[in-house]
Structure 1
Amino acid sequence: MMEMTQTYTPEPGYFKRLSVVDWVYAVALVAAALFALNRFGGFMDYYEKAVLVLAAPTFACLGWHWKPVRSLIALLTVLALSAVALYGGALEMANQKFLLKYLLSSQSAILWMSMLFFLATLFYWIGLIARSETGYSIGSKLCWAAVVFGFTGMLVRWYESYLIGGDVGHIPISNLYEVFVLFCMITALFYLYYEQRYATRQLGPFVLLVISAAVGFLLWYTVSRDASEIQPLVPALQSWWMKIHVPANFIGYGTFSLAAMVAVAYLLKSKGYLMDRLPSLEVLDDVMYKAIAVGFTFFTIATILGALWAAEAWGGYWSWDPKETWALIVWLNYAAWLHMRLMKGLRGQVAAWWAVCGLLVTSFAFLGVNMFLSGLHSYGEL
């Protein structure tokens, strides 16, 4: 009898699996980066040019891995460039052009973001309580719309700062108002990624609660402190370190917060609540672990970058400033959580309660230090 042999066909390499659309997307990003470098390179230092050049392959890979990023980038490009065209180089156009005044100026776009996040939270909860796929679907679409308006507001605010003056212009991540917007964007994007990755929208009601809380604070802070006004950077923040330290930090804050809200869902299900309305405990545990792992990685990078920045700005890598001390506490908390997870197999309610408590520690490091303590990091007092 003839033996049947099975021929092994290796999977094509990563680049061979890419479609024509993937390559067109990547080429468009490279072309846009080269255009920006040619048009605005004279206003950039070497660091900014390097970031611009590296942004093209970075976002190309991100778009290959997660397809919705392509549409997001394309839409943000159209909206931001439309706002720039409407301004025509004059900041006073914000109150004269209809689309700027009610839609595309930074303040208008961020207000739209705030309203859409509140509505998304409402519809996610309608979906959970009524077991309504329509409610979940509307909530997800509203969340995406909020992300679009939030990033549009940040991009336009960046341009507006330069319209005020070349010495005022800066990336909008320098004060509490701006970083709260950044926090909302990062937390929402990571949630939307996990929503698609695990094919479930049942975590939306929980994650959107922490985003809505941040939006509520943002609106209060805007009204009570007139925080939406663009201010020049204080001398210590006039550094390229800020442009990488702050985003890395807030990826940590955002994913830690997401993990905590997933942990709340885990605790509810493990105690017999919402049993048929939440994903399995295994899925909840996996999302919680992956969110903390990602957050810890970026928070570690941010801490190292912060030490390098401190050495340049203040002459020492570490000064036990309250913000630094609490950042270390946050880092140690999640380092211990991951150690217990990987070395001791930490699972279940103990891990979930630990993640929830971690949110309290993170919140104090993020906001409480600004409220109750003072130190070298005094750039966003209440």
Structure 2
Amino acid sequence: MEMTQTPQTPIYTAPPGYFRRLGALDWLYAAALLGGALFALQRYGAYMDIYEKAILLLSAPTFAWLGWHWKQVRWLMVVLAVLALSAIAQYDGSLPAADTRFFLKYALSSQSAILWMSTLFFLSTLFYWGGLVTRSDTGGVIGSKLCWAAVVLGFTGMLVRWYESYLVGADVGHIPISNLYEVFILFSLITALFYLYYEEQYETLQLGPFVMLVISAAVGFLLWYTVSREAAEIQPLVPALQSWWMKIHVPANFIGYGTFALAAMVAIAYLLKSRGLLVDRLPALEVLDDVMYKAIAVGFAFFTIATILGALWAAEAWGGYWSWDPKETWALIVWLNYAAWLHMRLMKGLRGQVAAWWALVGLLVTTFAFLGVNMFLSGLHSYGAL
């Protein structure tokens, strides 16, 4: 007599929780960040107010989460720590060492590192375009590695410049995001980092040629500004910028600017492909559309935060949350533009060439808010004038 087996219903097993998926290296990385933050607090806490201490301590879990989510951040943090601390040790507390020590003069003083960053970004652009034109992944791979090298040296230069500002004078020292020279470096680095993240997530090298164009344009302006205005010289902060608000408002703002610029360059690729150009060399239209949407969504979130922080800062510095200063007015225009773009996409299904053209026009609006206001208009933000 045959026995029939009743099929068993498979038992559903829920995936492990987020923290249970983390391994020993993940926790070691987080512990190292926390240790570094506590060391900095112990050594420099006497020079910080309560808000700056909070920013320092919150940076540890923030960068820990980034490193857990995107593994590349781990080695980036380690390399930056090694290079920046090695450079700082060479100074021996004396700024003139930057002109006498070989390691500093030709590699890792702030100006040298930023010049290397600029050169590497230009070379990265050439290799990305060479790979696209010749249909070779080799050019894109080399371009990607050069872009990573530029990011490393750029952030190293910024960290060393931060230290150099304190060597100029204890009352001069400040985080290097206070003038056009410094924020153009920040813009280039943020745009490059977000691009490299999307490059890895979507496993494509074909967006590099387009995104690197806007980065190279920023670097070109940076070099012109450096030569024509001697902008690399470290200057004391104007009174309006002597606030801890600057440490969070400016980075949040430039995450918005960087991702909006990235979205616009992806929009150019979208428009070319949708018109039958470079069809076999660019990612699918769906991929381009998705990158464009995610970049704008991230940028809008951070730009919103930056605008709110800016209003709070204005209330402290000038006695009012909003004064219709030209910079504030154009920031509102930028915000409304991308709020409308996201509304149309989420509520009305905005896609295709209209969305791409809108994102491209958005870059022109953003550029005027970022740079044009400084060139042609005056107001409470006139300390950022060209």
Query: Considering the TM-score relative to the shorter chain, is it more than 0.5?
Result: yes
CA RMSD of aligned residues (A): 0.7
Runs of 4+ in 1 over 4 A off after TM superposition: none
Structure 1 distance, partners of 2:44, 2:180, is 28
**How far apart are residue 378 of structure 1 and its match?**
1.0
2:25 aligns with 21
**How far apart are residue 4 of structure 1 and its match?**
2.2
2:139 aligns with 135
Does 2:161 align with 1:161? no
Structure 2 distance, partners of 1:121, 1:377, is 33
Match of 2:310 among 288, 306, 309: 306
SS in 2 for 1:308: helix
Match of 1:207 among 207, 211, 224: 211
Task: List runs of 5+ in structure 1 lacking aligned partners.
Answer: none
1:243 aligns with 247
1:113 aligns with 117
Structure 1 distance, partners of 2:14, 2:356, is 41
SS in 2 for 1:379: helix
Structure 2 distance, partners of 1:367, 1:333, is 17
Task: List runs of 5+ in structure 2 lacking aligned partners.
Answer: none
Q: How does 1:201-280 map to 2 (within 5 A)?
A: 201-280=205-284
- Cα deviations by residue, 1:44-65 (Å, 9 ceiling, x for unpaired): 2211111111111111110000
The amino acid of 1:43's aligned partner reads Y
Identity of aligned pairs, percent? 80
Q: How does 1:11-90 map to 2 (within 5 A)?
A: 11-90=15-94
Does 2:152 align with 1:175? no
SS in 2 for 1:13: coil
Structure 1 distance, partners of 2:157, 2:167, is 15
**How far apart are residue 3 of structure 1 and its match?**
2.8
Match of 1:184 among 180, 185, 188: 188
Structure 1 distance, partners of 2:352, 2:367, is 23
The amino acid of 2:280's aligned partner reads D
Structure 1 distance, partners of 2:195, 2:184, is 16
- Cα deviations by residue, 1:235-286 (Å, 9 ceiling, x for unpaired): 0100111111111000000000000000000000000000010000000000
Match of 1:100 among 96, 100, 104: 104
2:335 aligns with 331
**How far apart are residue 380 of structure 1 and its match?**
2.1
Structure 1 distance, partners of 2:378, 2:288, is 38
SS in 2 for 1:101: helix
**How far apart are residue 306 of structure 1 and its match?**
0.6
1:124 aligns with 128
Structure 1 distance, partners of 2:367, 2:60, is 33
The amino acid of 1:95's aligned partner reads D
**Comparing 240-249 and 44-53, the one that deviates more:** 44-53
**How far apart are residue 357 of structure 1 and its match?**
0.2
Structure 2 distance, partners of 1:379, 1:113, is 26
The amino acid of 1:44's aligned partner reads M
Q: How does 1:277-296 map to 2 (within 5 A)?
A: 277-296=281-300
**Comparing 196-205 and 49-58, the one that deviates more:** 49-58
Q: How many residues align?
A: 382
The amino acid of 2:374's aligned partner reads N
Match of 2:8 among 1, 4, 9: 4
2:345 aligns with 341
- Cα deviations by residue, 1:336-364 (Å, 9 ceiling, x for unpaired): 00000000000000000000000000000
Structure 1 distance, partners of 2:226, 2:121, is 17
The amino acid of 1:255's aligned partner reads T
Structure 2 distance, partners of 1:117, 1:209, is 10
Q: TM-score, normalised by structure 2?
A: 0.98
